[in-house]
Chain A
Amino acid sequence: MAVSSTATGLDVNPLMSAYKRRRDAARLGVGAKYESQGFISSGTYGKVYKVLLLAHSTAATRAGDLRGEPGQAYAVKKFKPEKEGGDGYTGLSQSACREIALNREIRHENVIALREVILDMKAVFMVFEYAEHDFLQVIHYHSTNHPRSVLPLGVLKSLLYQLLNGVAYLHSNFIMHRDLKPANILITDKGVVKIGDLGLARVFHRPLVPLLNGDKVVVTIWYRAPELLLGAKHYTTAIDMWAVGCIFAELLSLRPIFKGDEAKMDASKKLPFQKDQMLKIMEVLGVPSVDEWPLLALLPDYPQLGAIERERARQDPTKPRFENNFGTFMNRHMRSMDSGRAVLQALFTWDPDRRLSAADALYHPFFTADAPMPTKNAFAHATKAYPPRRITADEGGLFAEPAAPPPAPQTNTGAATSQRPAAPPAPLAGQPQAGSVLVGTSGVGGAGQGARMWSAQAQAQRGMARKRPRLG
Chain B
Amino acid sequence: MSQIIIKDVAKRYANGFNALKGVSAEIPAGSFTVILGPSGAGKSTLLRTINGLETPTSGSVQIGQQTVTHTNLREVRSQVGMVFQHFNLVDRLSVMANVLTGRLSHRSWLGSLFYLFQRGDMDIAHEALIRVGLTDKAWNRADRLSGGQQQRVGIARALAQQPRVILADEPVASLDPVTSEEIMGLLREICTRDGITVVVNLHQVELAKRFADRVIGLNDGFVVYDGPASGLDRATLSRIYNRNGDQIDEQLETMLAYA
- Does A pair with B? no
B contact set with A: CB distance below 8 Å: none
A contact set with B: CB distance below 8 Å: none
